Amino acid sequence: MPKTAYRYITTLPGVRGGNAIIEGTRIGVHDVIGFLQNGETVDSICSPRCFPGITKAQVYECLAYYEDHRGEIDVLVARQMASANA
């Protein structure tokens, strides 16, 4: 499994387009960031309403990854929002 410099973030060819995901899930970093940009909190992201089973540490690591890869994640979030509004 390809690793990144992040403990909880990885990429897998063929999974979510090879984009960064939370290890052991199919949840994309861009999924988490999109929810946060739309008003969710770290606590609500970890709740059964959003992504049960992920930890606050994983959410914070998504934020760290976002800070280091802002352009890449912003494009993915924008695509996701556009397809949701189509």
Overall average pLDDT of the 33-41 stretch: 96
* pLDDT tier at 3, thresholds 50, 70, 90: low
pLDDT of residue 31: 97
- Nearest in space to 23 (alpha carbons), one of 1, 44, 41, 52: 1
**Is the pTM here over 0.85, yes or no?**
yes
Q: Which of 1-5, 21-25, 38-42, 69-73 has the lowest mean pLDDT?
A: 1-5
Strand partners, 28: 21
